[in-house]
Structure 1
Amino acid sequence: MLLMGGRMYPWNITDTFYAYSYNCNQWINLMDDATTKVGPYPRQTYAQAMTVEPDGDAVYVIGGWGLDSQSSVLRIELPVDLCNLWPRKRACLAVSGCGYCANKVNEEVRSQQCHANTKECPLDPILNSSRVTNQGRICSAYTSSNCTMMQDCGSCLQTSSCTWCQGACTSNTTQCSVPQLKCQSNRCIATDCIQCHQIPGCDWNYSKRECIPNLQDEEANSVSVCPQPCINYSTCSSCLEVPDCRWSTQLDECISASYQDIYCAGGVCGLVLESEDRQYCPEPCNSFTQCSSCLRHAHCGWCAAPGDRGEGVCAEGSSERPMAGTCNNIYYESSRKLLDDDRNPPDPDDIEAVSSYLNDLNVSYSWHYVKCPPENECLNGHHSCAEESEICVDLDDGFECRCGAGYKAGANGCEPVCPLGKC
């Protein structure tokens, strides 16, 4: 088994490359400085696809995410005997399961090889040479001494030199009155509450987000006590009311915390909100009634009505145009407040008919994504001047609040010239 790359909390990406030895029950670092490597090294990546060539000794690494998406295919060739990766004696013998042999002529090493110590030395003899061998650490002896370190039955019985006895892992050379040859299977395997409750004797643990055995009840639990699947929630606020759900601001959808890491690989989910982030839920664009508040949200733009009254509709879109057709259609659909006309108004879904209808009425709405169009905030009430003490003055760009009659500028804004009626 090979393990490559991955992501360590919180965002650090690694270029680790490990092989797991079932015989020795250990991980082998293939990127170790002592191993022989030819060609470019694997990149730091995670969420990549990997496959093994069935008729060869090559591994293919496809795609993945690093600093950005990686559209590449990397071919890695490995020897059948991984011990061959260590060319030097000292590094070779440091790996359990590897042995060392060499041909010497007058104490000079002419050839050497690191190999699996379960096999004979693969070197061909050299005339007038002497053979030097070192068996290294035998896996059975090495793993026997580590049986007590294994905490679960599955890992214990996967190691040939260990046995599971009375709830503990021991060497198979140890006397055991009732050795356990097979682990009790974990039947409570499910990724969400509904799947879990369909398994008899299982219950869903919300804090750990896992399916656990329920020893008090051997019957299947009712799935009605489970919340709806996260995908059924269409708004951020309703999504975050469910303990197991998260809201993806980029995909604009509710996702399960159980598969968030896999589903959001590469940052495709953008900012992911949890239940305690409910106050940061993004509001739909059409909830904003002023251009200034609309353009504070990167996915929103403003369809401005003619004139300087600041009327318009906030809609989802990009720098080029609204997402849903044209501003004329969006404004027509949202307001339906057209000028009086003898003709029947067209179907809102008929974009060409609506545009033609509005053109005949000499009405045109413009799209603004970066900057709001000029408007008279003093007339439409989109200003922040204090009604009692300040006067709104319209400017070419925005507005200005000036102190009104009987008031003067002070540390806290406009203050009365005659406080408490005394000058």
Structure 2
Amino acid sequence: MVAAGVFAPGHLGELTRIVSFDLVDAALEASGAVQSRVRLLPSRVVVYLLLAGALFTGIGYRQVWARLCAGLPGSPRGCPGSSALSQALRRVGPKPLKALFDLVRGPAVGAVRWRGLLVCAIDGTSVFVPDSPDNVAAFGRHGGGHAQAGYPMLRLLAVVACGTRTVVDVVFGPLRVAETAYAPRLFGCLRPGMLLLADRNFAVTALIEQITGTGADLLIRAKLNRRVPAIARLGDGSWLTRAGAATVRVIDAEIAVCCAGGPRRVERYRLITSLADEKRYPAQELVTLYHQRWEIETSYFELKSTMLGGRVLRARTPAGVCQEVYALLITYQALRTVIADTALATGDFSADRGSFTVAMHTARDQLIHAAGIINDTTIDLIGTIGHAIRTSPLTPRRARTSPRIVKRAISKHRAKGDIDRNIYKTQVSIHILPG
């Protein structure tokens, strides 16, 4: 069941249930991008072409168009030329994609909650864009002076709901702007009842004040040499201090990782949190909870490795890059929403055990067959993608450790020195150090 006439290629297979016709039309209307007359490439179809391009990142838009039309009923449809597709993409622009992302973003039902708090993480990454003069001027390259090399890159910063790994909000722009400068633009998505996890880069007094000012709570790792004088000591060994106008709690912990048949590692962590009640929020549990911050690193891996396959984006203009990044995020959000809905509907597993790779490849198949776009009389709550996720869940996560190293260096020659690349089963113990 697809749309009629020239609107028929405008679909995303079964993911159309998540990114529906109504949502796309609302985004187009809100951004003033609805076509003045119906063309061979209506604006709605162009938006779905961009979203489908995020599923098939290794091919051009003409090949993506062929996949959108492959399962449509009737005679084979002609493919617009490259020039027509380029003009259509420019005509629609990035604003409808931004508006559509605002409609689909947010934590999915089933996101991790700890003692009633929605656990989220914030962090940044970089994405390669095509090497064109406009992209270089808009985004910049890595390095400075005579050391600039490689593709231009944009910096992307996101808030992700842990567990479901759905995107709560995102900001991106030139690489030369630091993560801490982008961060305040994301704080509008924070609400009371949320707990934000962040690494040492965000342990800045001004950011701590702004986060606590939203009513949200925080759990941020800080540098060990940071001065945090105690204004009150708590019974579990943690203590209270001031971070500008905010009163925060400091937890020092020693984490010992015992590897079966391997070395024993001991590291010291210092965490800063706005959760000051040591009885309601035990220090030991907070140290364990901080490990959830790595959920956002997995999200970036899914975006950059699983979806993009390590490739550079397609667009050679800054407006096209913005359009493509939002299309990538919308499609990622749709896949993650399907996984979360499947976990919620079946109760067989948690959302973090749903295979993103299985979801993506099944969504590709459904798109090529133009299947499951609209529910028929027998409503299947999880659909074909959900059933594939359910029958191929990831195994429960094991306690393991491996070195954080570059596995495929730029140089083909082996780096000097021996590196233990083994992965060990571990047993972790946490000891709170009194301040």
Does TM, scored on the shorter chain, surpass 0.5?
A: no
Greater per-residue strand proportion:
1
Greater per-residue helix proportion:
2
Q: Based on CA coordinates, which of the two structures has the bigger radius of gyration?
A: 1
TM-score by length of 1: 0.16
TM-score by length of 2: 0.16
